[in-house]
Amino acid sequence: MTLSVPGRLPTALTVAAAALLTGGTVAWAAPAPATPRAAAAAPDIPVANVKAHLARLQSIATANGGNRAHGRSGNKASLDYVKSKLDAAGFATSVQQFTSSGRTGYNLVADWPGGDTGHVVMTGAHLDSVSAGPGINDDGSGSAATLETALAVSRTGYHPAKHLRFAWWGAEELGMVGSRTYVNGLSAADRSKITAYLNFDMIGSPNPGYFVYDDDPALEKTFQDYFTGLGIATEPETEGDGRSDHAPFKNAGIPVGGLFSGADYIKTAAQATKWGGTSGRAFDRCYHQACDTSANIDDTALDHDSDAVAYAVWTLSS
């Protein structure tokens, strides 16, 4: 925030007078920037808040037969939790229902009022787990980081130039059913308004890597810039083409980006050298298993990737 006196620069006299009047310290107010709209800095996402959402998703799974899978009670309970947080924060939420394998599934879409609705920056993660376990890394991690980023938009009173939309998909584990249903339901005009779709599916892997989707060069660079600032080397995500909810968007011609910390592939020695962790072991040994619990998370990767989500949302929408 830059404080300035409208129409003039503060002189030494006015600054000194203000200090006399307030009895306070003389604070130098920088001149107003030449550009009318300064890009707002992205907030640091508190990883403790992201972990609190994960703890909640874990309890939901525990109370509902150990999973949050499509067509099971834990899936709807997960949606109700995320929706209540967004409603309380001032988002306009809507639930899209669909049927897959004879069971009802849900997409939750949350719009932040304001911004140019002709230019939509959309962020998403899938809220269903496999039936084998609670799905805390896959994809509680992306769901929680997306939720906390949305809540940070509200908390900071962010007024982006572009319109922000967030989504939590159903039935990704059945073949991206929810996200495909959403994209198929958009008119050509509405599709063309989405300038970027950012996907976060597995961003807290216990033996983590820092993979950036390489689908769109500009979106890829946005994430790379963030990690360069942290001094962390990234690699292009090449495993996942077609393996998560960005695929239906990409197929519809929408630019996509995202992050991934690794699933069942094995970390190489070179990767362990740059990222730490254990070479010769999977990035996530509990991928699609019962042990994908709250214990199956690397807090540092979750923190960096959550901050990168916010950085991208702010940078691309301001």
Q: Restricting to residues 162-201, which ones interact with Zn ion according to CB under 5 A?
A: 201
Q: Are 305 and 259 in contact (CB under 8 A)?
A: yes
Q: 45 is written with which tokens?
A: 């996402």
Q: Which does 216 bind (CB under 5 to 8 A by kind): ligand TRP, Ca ion, Zn ion, none?
A: none
Going by their DSSP bridges, the two strands 103-112 and 162-169 should be labelled as: antiparallel
Least distance to Zn ion from the beta carbon of 268, Å?
22
Distance CA 112, CA 264 (A): 35
Specify the residue, 44 or 116, whose C-beta has the smaller distance to Ca ion.
44
Helices (H), the chain: 12-22, 47-62, 73-88, 142-155, 177-184, 188-193, 217-230, 246-251, 269-275, 299-317
Catalytic, 172? Answer yes
Q: Which residue has the tokens 């896959």?
A: 138
Burial annotation 257-267 (CB, 10 A radius, 16+ → b, else e):
bbbbbbbeeeb
Least distance to ligand TRP from the beta carbon of 14, Å?
56
Out of 172, 173, 220, 237, pick the active-site residue.
172
Least distance to Zn ion from the beta carbon of 129, Å?
8
**Closest to 285 (Cα-Cα) out of 172, 206, 201, 173:** 206
Site string for ligand TRP, 243-262 (x = CB under 6 A): xx---------------x--
Distance CA 143, CA 127 (A): 6
Which one of 145, 177, 263, 309 is in contact with ligand TRP (CB under 6 A)? 263
Q: Summarize as ranges the residues that interact with Ca ion (CB under 5 A).
A: 44-45, 47, 303, 307
By CB under 5 A, which span of 15-23, 135-143, 288-296, 297-305 interacts with Zn ion?
A: 135-143
- List interacting residues with Zn ion (CB under 5 A): 138-139, 201
Residues involved in catalysis? 172
Judged by the rule CB under 6 A, the positions of this chain that interact with ligand TRP are 138, 172, 201-202, 237, 239-240, 243-244, 260, 263
